[in-house]
Structure formats: structure tokens, C-alpha cells
Amino acid sequence: MNRFATAMVKTPAKVPVKIKISFCIFIYAVVMACVKRRIDGIFCLIAVIFCFAGDVALNHRKNHNEQTSKDFKIGMIMFMIAHVLYSITYYARMLNEYPQVVDRGCNWLVFLVVDVFLILTITETIGERLDFGKYEFAIILYMAVISTSFSMTFCYANIAKSISSLACVGGAALVISDLIIAIEKFAHYKTQKTRVMVWVTYIVGQILMITFA
């Protein structure tokens, strides 16, 4: 077997399992978007594309401990954009299913209260225990974005009151996944258990967010 053939055989094995899992989630999002054929499903698919790009940036190295500052920054930006798109996804979902929600100030009051409470709680709780250093502003901004994403799914769940309310559980799972990543990186507490927890909560969160978008 020549060198080219040998390289071709070995290449698939070099792709980290985490990226393979993320690609499977992307394929699931494509299928769901094709089945539903709604504008909110398109926004969700684009969000998943950015999530996949973020996963590649954060996990493309064979050893996760070799992740560089540039990898982390790119991954964070990709996921930040993804969560903005998730917020748009569920806003579009509410407008599509419950157009009268625009006239219901109480629903947006719930959204605002939950969003502000979550942002302040996470910022105060995590910020006091972790030293973000040069990432402080970026992390606080990211926390605000992902909190808003969860709050939008919470608002949707509050209106839908059906099986679709599980989207809120998905939003919460993604918040938990990112909080564990923050603890791993900034508290320097990374174990096999925390890695498993990150990916279990991430997969559950993504599947629920995609399914009910």
C-alpha cells in the first residue's frame, strides 16, 4: 500500500469522537429543517452550523488539553452567534404559532425578569469564584447571550404549555454545559467526569432545541 493510500485509511481515525458527534447533531438538524420547512427551522439549522464550527475549533486537537487561546476565542464567538440565532429561532417560533404574543406584555415581562435574573445570578456566582482574566468582558457578554437564549425558550415554554416546552429543558442543558466548560478552563478543574457531563448536557440540549424548533 502506497503512502497516499495509507494516509487515506488513517484519516478518519484522526477525527475526534466529539466532532463526529457534533456532525451527527448537524445531520439531525438538516433532517428536521427539511421535514418542518419553517423559517424558525432554518434559523435553528444555521445556529447548529455555527455550533458545529465552534465544536471543531474547541475539539479539533487530538488532546483537548492542547487547546490554544485562539481555539477558545473562535469557539466562543461561534457559539455566541449560535445562541443569538437560537433566540431568533424561538422568537420566530412564537410569532408563527402564537402571533398574539406580541400584544401580551406579561409574556415579555416574564422573559425580561428571567433573563435579567439569570444573567445577574450566573455573573455574580461564577464571577466571584473564577478569574476570567483577559476574557472577563467576553465571558460576561457570552453569559448574557446564552442567558437570553435560555430565557427565550422559557418564554416559549410558558406560552406553549405542551411537549414543545421541553425546548426550555434543552436551553437549560446548554447553559449547564457551558458553565462546566467555564469551571474546567478557569478553575483548572478538568476530569473525565466533567468532560462526560459537558457532552451529555450538550447533546441533550442540542437535540431538544432542534426537535422543538
Three cell numbers at 205?
Answer: 440540549
Query: Would residue 35 count as lying in a domain?
Result: yes
pLDDT for 125 equals 74
Query: Would residue 6 count as lying in a domain?
Result: no
pLDDT band of residue 107 (cuts 50, 70, 90) is low
Query: Would residue 2 count as lying in a domain?
Result: no
Q: What are the distances in angstroms from CA 91 to CA 98, 128, 137? A: 10, 32, 26
Three cell numbers at 7?
Answer: 494516509
User: Residues 18, 199: contact at Cβ < 8 Å?
Assistant: yes
> Locate cell 420566530: which residue?
92
Query: Would residue 130 count as lying in a domain?
Result: yes
Determine which of 58-67, 87-96, 204-213 has the lowest per-residue pLDDT on average: 58-67
How many CA atoms are closer than 13 Å to the CA of 203, on its beta-carbon side? Answer: 13
What type of residue sits at position 20? K
Query: Would residue 3 count as lying in a domain?
Result: no
Q: How far apart are CA 208 and CA 213, in angstroms?
A: 8
What type of residue sits at position 149? S
Q: How far apart are CA 138 and CA 33, in angstroms?
A: 31
Residue 76 pLDDT more than 80? yes
Query: Would residue 93 count as lying in a domain?
Result: yes
Q: How far apart are CA 42 and CA 127, in angstroms?
A: 35
Determine which of 5-9, 59-63, 104-108 has the lowest per-residue pLDDT on average: 5-9
DSSP state letter for 130: -
Query: Would residue 59 count as lying in a domain?
Result: yes
pLDDT for 36 equals 86
**What global pTM score does this model have?**
0.84
Domain count within the chain: 1
What is the length of the chain? 213
Q: In terms of residue numbers, what domain contains 42?
A: 16-211
Query: Would residue 74 count as lying in a domain?
Result: yes
Q: What are the distances in angstroms from CA 17 to CA 56, 57, 113, 190? A: 11, 14, 39, 18
User: Residues 29, 44: contact at Cβ < 8 Å?
Assistant: yes
How many CA atoms are closer than 13 Å to the CA of 127, on its beta-carbon side? Answer: 16
pLDDT tens per residue across span 111-161:
788 888 888 887 777 767 777 788 888 888 998 999 999 989 988 888 887
